[in-house]
Amino acid sequence: MAWTRLAPVLTASDADEQARRRAAEMDAADPLAGFRDRFLPLPDGIVYLDGNSLGRPLRSTLEVVAAAIREEWGQGLIGSWSEWTDLPRRVGDELGNALLGSAPGEVVVADSTSVNIYKLVMAAAAARPGRDVLVTEADNFPSDRYVLQGVAQRLGLTLRLVPADIDNGVDLADLAAALDERVAAVCLSHVGYRSGALVDMRAATQLVHDHGALVLWDLCHSVGSVPIDLTGARADLAVGCTYKYLNAGPGAPAFLYVRRDLQEQLSQPIWGWFGQADQFEMDDTYAPMPGIGRFQVGTPPILGVLAVREGVRLLAEAGMEPVRAKGQALTALAAELADRHLAPRGFRIASPRDADQRGSHLTLAHPEARQLVRRLADGGVITDFRTPDRLRLGASALSTSFTDIVEAVLRLRGLAL
């Protein structure tokens, strides 16, 4: 026993010990440290740096969902729909208020991000008749690009791609060059999934508006990691998922935002009974309800919506300013350690260097990234691989410690010897 305790002290270099000590001090001084206990514990020996793909479960979610099954569903049976019907809009309001800078009645929890992109891009294209171009960034998330390709083909529009640097994201000058009076809608990711590059939402929205087009923001990698002000940016439309930094679980429903003054101008393409004005009148013809509810389609996944609410409430309790500050400190520590320990072993930082210009993950490029991610995982450190040669270190401010970052970097160095 004594030997296993002593071994790391004898073999680790002074620099490693120093890094570990410093991380322990940062953890001790971290005002958000207490939030780590609000999550279900990890299996022994696991370091989890993939919350940007699948956030960890909250203890409270397990209780709330179990209670809803036992009581609302088990006892209340179908009568509970009186409570459930507008839950996606109530949780949408909480989410919008805590995380998006939107007004009540502008956000609803519904469907998946991909489906919501389809609904809103189709609606935006129809709202700009005569315009025949859709725009997105060349390095946008695959589903965004595929949905836009499909919409463009179906409607006979052209999809124009803004070139994007795979380390640093979209340059606003390139966006400006892609815009003209033919453009109906522009779909951009606020934080790039590969590099973590953060786009200036206000400036980009202004550029799109200068050309009379509508902008759709994909917030998947920024919601819950970066403060968002949709109202301040005058954003038109937005979507985002809830299973990354919102910790709502695999397949938890996404959300969508439509600015209040656009809601009655837009018509989404999937006319379902949950968007209908008098749902239970079972009318012969579709007449969408006023407001954000018309962007719903079918029966909402209530248990998933409850999980979204838990994730939103935890972030609201923590506050997005401290969450952002810690996210930046975590990726800054990762960048500093990567420069010192990993650059000599063939790694290169493939995210913006300035923490203000990136979200909450740091991407490293290495020719053997794919194998390194697998071998790291074999040793209990979970990160993820992204093409062509990238490893992402995801920092979730409420569940990731500074010690996690140091452990991941030092293990990676050991593997890349």
Catalytic residues: 141, 218, 243-244, 392
Instruction: Report the distance separating Cα 256 and Cα 260, nearest Å.
Output: 12
56 scored as a contact of ligand PLP (CB under 6 A): no
Identified binder of ligand PLP from the candidate list 60, 85, 112, 279, rule CB under 6 A: 112
326 scored as a contact of ligand PLP (CB under 6 A): no
Q: Is 260 exposed, middle or buried (0-12, 13-18, 19+ CB in 10 A)?
A: middle
In three-state secondary structure terms, 283 is: coil
Binding span for ligand PLP by CB under 6 A among 57-65, 111-119, 266-274, 382-390: 111-119
Q: CB of residue 370 vs ligand PLP: minimum separation in angstroms?
A: 20
384 scored as a contact of ligand PLP (CB under 6 A): no
114 scored as a contact of ligand PLP (CB under 6 A): yes
193 scored as a contact of ligand PLP (CB under 6 A): yes
**Which positions from 247 through 286 interact with ligand PLP, judged by CB under 6 A?**
254
Nearest to 393 by CA among 322, 312, 332, 346: 332
189 scored as a contact of ligand PLP (CB under 6 A): yes
What token pair was written down for 372? 């390194």
146 scored as a contact of ligand PLP (CB under 6 A): no
Q: CB of residue 335 vs ligand PLP: minimum separation in angstroms?
A: 21
Instruction: Report the distance separating Cα 416 and Cα 123, nearest Å.
Output: 49
Judge whether 237 and 256 are in contact, CB under 8 Å.
yes
218 scored as a contact of ligand PLP (CB under 6 A): yes
Phi, psi (degrees; rounded to nearest 5) at 187: -115, 120
144 scored as a contact of ligand PLP (CB under 6 A): yes
Q: C-alpha distances in angstroms, 167 versus 309, 316, 355, 360, 363?
A: 33, 31, 13, 14, 8
Count residues binding ligand PLP (CB under 6 A).
13
85 scored as a contact of ligand PLP (CB under 6 A): no
Phi, psi (degrees; rounded to nearest 5) at 382: -95, 115
Q: CB of residue 235 vs ligand PLP: minimum separation in angstroms?
A: 16
Q: CB of residue 52 vs ligand PLP: minimum separation in angstroms?
A: 8
406 scored as a contact of ligand PLP (CB under 6 A): no
Binding span for ligand PLP by CB under 6 A among 125-133, 197-205, 217-225, 281-289: 217-225
- Angle between helix axes 369-378 and 402-415 (nearest 10 degrees) is 120
Instruction: Report the distance separating Cα 94 and Cα 116, nearest Å.
Output: 19
183, containing H or E segment = strand 183-189
Decide whether 23 or 166 has the Cβ nearer to ligand PLP.
Answer: 166
Instruction: Report the distance separating Cα 72 and Cα 59, nearest Å.
Output: 19
Binding span for ligand PLP by CB under 6 A among 33-41, 61-69, 139-147, 407-415: 139-147
Instruction: Residue 36: count other Cβ atoms within 10 Å of its Cβ.
Output: 18
What token pair was written down for 399? 């569940």
Terminal CA-CA length for the chain: 29
337 scored as a contact of ligand PLP (CB under 6 A): no
Identified binder of ligand PLP from the candidate list 108, 241, 314, 342, rule CB under 6 A: 241
Instruction: Report the distance separating Cα 79 and Cα 77, nearest Å.
Output: 5
221 scored as a contact of ligand PLP (CB under 6 A): yes
Binding span for ligand PLP by CB under 6 A among 23-31, 84-92, 141-149, 223-231: 141-149
Residues of the shown chain interacting with ligand PLP in the complex, contacts defined by CB under 6 A: 112-114, 141, 143-144, 189, 193, 218, 220-221, 241, 254
